[in-house]
Structure 1
Amino acid sequence: MNKFLIVLSQTYLNRLKSKAFIITTVITLLMIFLITNLSTIIDNFDSSEADRVGVIDTGSYYTQLENQMKMMESDIVLEKFDGSEEKAEQAIDEGDLDSYLILKENENSEPTALYKAETVAEQVTPQVLESALQQLKSTIAAEKAGVTQQQLSEIDQPVQFQKVALEKGAKTEDELNQARVFVYVLLFVIYFSVIFYGNMVAVEVATEKSSRVMEILISSVSPVKQMFGKILGIALLGLTQYAIIIASGYLFMQMQEDDLAEAGFLSFLNFSNLSASLIVYAIVFFILGYLLYATILAMVGSLVSRAEEVQQMIMPVQFLIIIAFFIAMFGLSTPSSTFVTISSFIPFFTPVVMFLRVGMLSIPFWEVAVSLALLIGSIVFFAIIGAKVYRGGVLMYGKSSSLKDIGKALKLSRRE
């Protein structure tokens, strides 16, 4: 046990002090800071005044358009322009206007518009003006048809549509919406954790092997202790990084004003209706998913002689988690499909796909239990095989080009 802890702590501390860990953590914290302060940053940089739009009105619609813009609470400033288009363009050149709008009346006595500016790459102002004119046109058409403003308002009211689940214990719409966001976030966390930290395990093994330190270690520490010492050491590193990120993100959110924290990008991070069981499942599937892939990747990493060869060897394993991720993305809209159900029992896909089903549906516990049993059984199987491959693989040198070298590693392990 003492040797196992030495391998674990050495792996953890070496990676914790590495430049890669520090740089990725700092970059992630900067990204979180930018996201949580995005609205404030945009406001500070976007200190320009509201767009000033000159309106050349040949159809007597200016007053109605101005009233419609006020109803929409737009900050665009309309200015009635009595001059010609040439003078309007001159006003833009001199900075008195940002753009101008030509209002006309067509043969149906409805407003038409022509918007001109230095560039039409900016979409906000023309979209707001188009929306206001669309409302104005609808009002005029309704008046022609003898429809009152109240009747038009009733016509525009959205239909009341509610969804009620008949299945006993099924989640409500609010619970589903929160669960969908939670599952979506956790899918990305599991996916990137397996890709990033799993690859780190493979690189860690290959790096030690290339330095020939492995030949000494393998004779003093059993393959199982050594392999799982590295796997759990990297896992602790990941938990440390996530703890730093979560704590920093919480502090950044606390720095925001209440009205900003409850709006915009952060408004969807409301998990008040999540059940405790879903959070427990998230932790369980996250840990088991990492152990499964990290065990396989540690085994694969022991087959290569140089860290540069790791990426080529682990590509087939990466494809498995990528496939699982895409199945989960498909399952977000159709979680009860037969394809998603069957995929959730395949151990390589279980950590993300079964977690998706648990979060979105009310499935029997026996299904979860069976998937967990298969997943844990797969971890044990790959741990046993992986330890043997690990023992033989770390003694293999030379270029490794395929997973067929697993057989060679197993033969070497039996000779030891």
Structure 2
Amino acid sequence: MRKFLTVLKFHLKEGLSAKSYIITAAVLFSVVLGYFGFMHYFDKEEKMTVYVSDQSQAYEFNTSEAGNAADFAEIKKIGEDKVSGIKKEVEAGNIDALIVLKGSGEAPEVDYHFRRMADYQVLALINAVVQPQYINNVVTANGIDPAVAGALLTPVKVNEVTLKETESLGLVYFFLFLMYMFIIMFGNTVSLGIAGEKTTRVMEIMITKVKPITMMYAKIIAAMLSGLLQIGMVALGYVIAKLLGWTTGEMNIMGMALDLSVLNPKIFLFLGLYFMLGYTVYALLFASITSTISRMEDIGTIIFPISILLMGGFFLGFKTMMDPNAGIVLASSYIPFFSPMVTFSRIVLGEAGSLEVILSIVVLVISIGILSYIANRIYSKGVMRYSGKTNLTDVIKMAKSTEA
């Protein structure tokens, strides 16, 4: 135990004092605190600038009425002679939209000019202004009773009744990305440490003093503690923002609602727990597989399948956001390579029951025990292997071998 603690302290000190680690911690804290500060002071919704050229003889685009109805935009009327100049401004991104109303016949013609993507609010505004005029002309021309026409065109009223409101998608996305980033970042830290020691032959000196397995677990736990401290920096940034009153009001991330009301110590507790369990699963894979390489340049190839597995968990987390009770999601909740991200996402969404959470944790703990047994065998033999490239068959033989 004393040797283990000595190696653990060494790797923990080495990791925490690294410039990259300090910079990452500072950036995480600054990004979280800065986001809330920006949303609180500067994220004021700006009005769009929309120009309208009314060139129709039969229809009219009343900019005053449209401006009163559309509080999202500042609407300005221009003559036909200025249309070409405004088009260039829209193309350059200086103006948001240009609407040209044409048509003197039965149906109106509308040209909506935009730079890259049509805005649904502008499209709705065009329909709101022009469509009633067109309907009125058709009703008059065909002698239809206006009351009948109005009844036929009255939309069916749909009462939207939300049985389980979900405003946590932005939060799930943030935590999902955070967990993925930390697992792959600190998993790679373990791999690079082992590969560096082995390829420089430092490992040969160290194993005369400390058992290989002791070194492996010391590296894994040191990196895990470093990751938990980084999660702590995220939590600290949020706590300070909350104390400053910056977490009130509507917020979003990547266009998804960020409901901070669901944030509580339990969420951060589960985040830390599932990070530790998920990280341990992948760290054991990273450590054992990396121990078999003989050259530093082989590390990318050897850990690629593990990275793909981790990426699969990340994408399943996205699937969880869209449909948290899909069959593949529920099944993935009990697959140790995917359950940390999938089950935690379901917890934040309020979809995971207590029994599901307990079962997923039990499966993860049992899986870690099995992976530890296999990793011990591979690592103890792999660290002293220098016979060229190692393939999957060699790794399987090391896992099956009972030799010391």
Among candidates 115, 120, 124, match of residue 121 of structure 1: 115
Please say if 1:223 is aligned against 2:212. Answer: yes
Distance 2:50 2:257 in 1: 34
The answer for the alignment partner of 2:283 in structure 1 is 294
Comparing 1-10 with 267-276, greater Cα deviation is found at: 267-276
The answer for the alignment partner of 2:101 in structure 1 is 103
What's the TM-score once normalised by structure 1's chain length? 0.75
The answer for the alignment partner of 1:169 in structure 2 is none
Name the SS of the counterpart of 2:208 in structure 1: helix
The answer for the alignment partner of 2:8 in structure 1 is 8
1:329-374 alpha-carbon deviations (Å, 9 max, x no partner): 3344444344433333233233233444555535462x54444333
- Aligned pairs (5 A) from 1:194-205: 194-205=183-194
Among candidates 244, 250, 256, match of residue 263 of structure 1: 250
Distance 1:30 1:368 in 2: 32
Comparing 355-364 with 214-223, greater Cα deviation is found at: 355-364
Name the SS of the counterpart of 1:414 in structure 2: coil
**Cα distance, 1:135–1:385 mapped onto 2, change above 3 Å:** same
Q: How far is the alpha carbon of 1:300 from its aligned partner? A: 1.4
Distance 1:410 1:115 in 2: 66
What's the TM-score once normalised by structure 2's chain length? 0.77
Distance 2:336 2:99 in 1: 61
Q: How far is the alpha carbon of 1:252 from its aligned partner? A: 5.8
**Cα distance, 1:90–1:183 mapped onto 2, change above 3 Å:** closer
Distance 1:94 1:357 in 2: 46
Unaligned runs of at least 5 residues, structure 2: 140-144
1:163-208 alpha-carbon deviations (Å, 9 max, x no partner): 54xxxxxxxx13xx14655444433333222222112111111112
Among candidates 72, 76, 79, match of residue 78 of structure 1: 76
Residues 111 and 133 in structure 1, CA contact (< 8 A), matched pair in contact too: no
Name the SS of the counterpart of 1:351 in structure 2: helix
- Aligned pairs (5 A) from 1:207-222: 207-222=196-211
Q: How far is the alpha carbon of 1:104 from its aligned partner? A: 2.8
Q: How far is the alpha carbon of 1:231 from its aligned partner? A: 0.7
Comparing 56-65 with 133-142, greater Cα deviation is found at: 56-65
The answer for the alignment partner of 1:361 in structure 2 is 351
Distance 2:319 2:235 in 1: 28
Distance 1:264 1:254 in 2: 17
Name the SS of the counterpart of 1:404 in structure 2: helix
Q: How far is the alpha carbon of 1:102 from its aligned partner? A: 4.0
The answer for the alignment partner of 1:377 in structure 2 is 366
Q: How far is the alpha carbon of 1:304 from its aligned partner? A: 1.8
The answer for the alignment partner of 1:21 in structure 2 is 21
Residues 223 and 388 in structure 1, CA contact (< 8 A), matched pair in contact too: no
Please say if 1:326 is aligned against 2:315. Answer: yes
**Cα distance, 1:80–1:363 mapped onto 2, change above 3 Å:** closer
Distance 2:26 2:87 in 1: 44
**Cα distance, 1:407–1:220 mapped onto 2, change above 3 Å:** farther
**Cα distance, 1:160–1:204 mapped onto 2, change above 3 Å:** same
1:371-400 alpha-carbon deviations (Å, 9 max, x no partner): 433321221222233223222221122433
The answer for the alignment partner of 2:177 in structure 1 is 188
Aligned length: 387
Aligned amino acid, residue 385 of structure 1? I
Distance 1:208 1:299 in 2: 14
Please say if 1:399 is aligned against 2:397. Answer: no
Name the SS of the counterpart of 2:158 in structure 1: coil
Distance 1:332 1:71 in 2: 35
1:298-317 alpha-carbon deviations (Å, 9 max, x no partner): 11121123433222111222
Name the SS of the counterpart of 1:103 in structure 2: strand
Distance 1:274 1:94 in 2: 44
Name the SS of the counterpart of 1:53 in structure 2: strand
Distance 1:291 1:147 in 2: 71
Q: How far is the alpha carbon of 1:230 from its aligned partner? A: 0.7
Distance 1:248 1:39 in 2: 14
Residues 198 and 294 in structure 2, CA contact (< 8 A), matched pair in contact too: yes
**Cα distance, 1:344–1:61 mapped onto 2, change above 3 Å:** same
1:234-265 alpha-carbon deviations (Å, 9 max, x no partner): 1111122222234235546777867xx52342
The answer for the alignment partner of 2:375 in structure 1 is 386
Percent of pairs with identical residues? 24
1:15-60 alpha-carbon deviations (Å, 9 max, x no partner): 223243244445555655675437967889x9xx974736344437
Residues 313 and 342 in structure 2, CA contact (< 8 A), matched pair in contact too: yes
Please say if 1:139 is aligned against 2:132. Answer: yes
Name the SS of the counterpart of 1:399 in structure 2: coil
Aligned amino acid, residue 4 of structure 1? F
Name the SS of the counterpart of 2:274 in structure 1: helix
